[in-house]
A and B are shown apart, each in its own frame.
Chain A
Amino acid sequence: MAAPLSVEVEFGGGAELLFDGVKKHQVTLPGQEEPWDIRNLLVWIKKNLLKERPELFIQGDSVRPGILVLINDADWELL
């Protein structure tokens, strides 16, 4: 059981338009059975933060091609 988790999520380069123009979001992810991973987080963002046009943010179970993801200022492809 993973404890609630505090995360800062930031959108840029125009993606913030899908989030009411807000770039930085300080959020607390609820505790849940399995540990949080990016896939879960994306779903959570889609449900809780995303305001419009989900297809421009998420496609399948990942971000839309062309969207880059950094985790702690490092390319998520490194993980």
Chain B
Amino acid sequence: PVQVGEDYGAPAPEVPPPPPRAGRELKCVKCSEGLPVVVIRAGDAFCRDCFKAFYVHKFRAVLGKNRLIFPGEKVLLAWSGGPSSSSMIWQVLEGLSRDSAKRLRFVPGVVYVDEGAACGQSLEDRAKTLAEMKLILQTVGFPWHIVALEEVFGLPPSVLRYLDQEPSGTKGAYKAAVDSFLQQQHAPAQGEEQLSQPGSQDPQSPAGPPTAAHTEALSRLFDSVKTLTAKEELLQTLRTHLILHVARTHGYSKVMTGDSCTRLAIKLMTSLALGRGAFLAWDTGFSDERHGDVVVVRPMRDHTLKEVAFYNRLFAVPSVFTPAIDTKAPEKSSIHRLMEAFMLRLQAQFPSTVSTVYRTSEKLVKAPRDGNAGGPPGPRCLLCMCALDIDTADSATAFGAQTSHLSQMQPPTPPAEAPTTPCCSAGVGRAQGCCRGAEPCGREDPRATVIEQLCYGCRVNMKDLPSLDPLPPYILTEAQLRSQRASVLQEIQEYLIDSDDEAQTGES
């Protein structure tokens, strides 16, 4: 007599053997033999074995269909300890241990971000959680990286930059990679040996416990944020940067996250409410290329949270519960919470809610504005790193009006047509800039410098941060660098325009 909830568990009585109702007579819809244990979708009851096959197949199908992960590629699995990402790790583990053609062929590693400081956990609790995590990581055997959220205070500004992907992405390249991989694989003896290879017990040394100063700085930062909504967004932003940094410094070109389809449906609605409508396809799609060189993929996006919870329960997938920033918070405490409650309640009454929303997210296309697809993208949001959706010229909208004072006092972000300047003119620009060097920095309010580099959603969010000072230094540094670069570019441009004018007057 035991049961467990996915998000929360619930109870079950081992009561008078329930009067044999129709339900109990049911057979598994797949094999028509097994005793059903779980209902997925409307009324489809699966037995244990068929459910497992269904679940595993879905995971592999998502990866197979998208053909995004190359054989031999290093893939970082982002693990929170929660049910979905734990299940993802177990699926990868299972997939790697398969024999023959069905085997997954990438090289996994795991990253865990200890967010205890942002969630108000004591050092003892954090140490306890970490010990539990390590135990599981040892069982899994993949190389792992444990980082504390405090490490954002040591991030380099370059983490916020878009880096170009090494050319590969085409279908032909995928095939070629598979072929060359298979050739390599056939040479060494194939088999179980392979399994132990990625599981090198040599974890990338966790950089030791974070310093007390950083822990304090992090709690100060989160304490200063006025709303839970903004806290959740900030946490996600910092976590993403940290994971990206780990991926880049260790040569992972893909990051897998465990977002389930339930979670993504909630996220889609939340993102909309947060003013991130322009980025829905990135925020919720299968793959997210916003960082360029490191692509985030979401292989659990076809699994509902219910399926995940049942699978983990039935097949003993371990997960570690860690209080999140919104644990025990009332339903109306943040947009995230509210949207979650809304979706789940709707889902309880209308069982197609989640799948309908999720199907919508599948159809969203990542079309960059004005069709400048491909090529080095224009300016990107400093925080979420999406292509800026801010049109400073568009003062007709409420948002344009609201931000126009910013664009007036700031040089606008350089227009896309500004050439990535050859060094000679950069030299001129700098030389020219020298005499007025103090000016651009002097007149700029650091807050304005940051805000103007944000997308709409992130701008709104930053309003709940009374001061930017507690932010980790890499964000402010990069903002300053970008703004300096922008003003230098503008000066160069002024120079170019001048000469252009002269040429014109000379001609006429």
Contacts and interface: CB of A to CB of B under 8 A. Distances in A.
B327 A17 contact: yes
A14 to B, nearest CB: 5
Interface string A41-68: 1100100000011011100000111111
Contact of A10 (B9, B38, B344): B9
Contact residue range for chain A?
35 or more
Contact of A41 (B6, B11, B344): B11
Nearest to B345: A65
Contacts of A77: 39
A14 B1 contact: no
B341 A71 contact: no
Nearest to A59: B345
A69 B38 CA distance: 11
B340 A70 contact: no
B207 interface: no
A12 B319 CA distance: 10
Interface in B1-23: 1-16, 18, 21, 23
Given A8-B2, A66-B340, A74-B38, A38 B328 contact: no
A74 to B, nearest CB: 5
Q: What is the predominant secondary structure among interface residues of chain B facing chain A?
A: loop
Contact residue range for chain B?
35 or more
B309 interface: yes
Contacts of A71: 1, 3, 12-14
B8 A7 contact: no
Contacts of B5: 11-13, 15, 63, 67-70
A64 B327 CA distance: 15
Given A36-B16, A77-B39, A68 B6 contact: yes
Nearest to B340: A66
A64 B83 CA distance: 19
B24 interface: yes
A21 to B, nearest CB: 10
A47 to B, nearest CB: 13
Q: Shortest 4 CB-CB distances between A and B: which pairs?
A: A70-B3, A15-B8, A71-B12, A11-B9
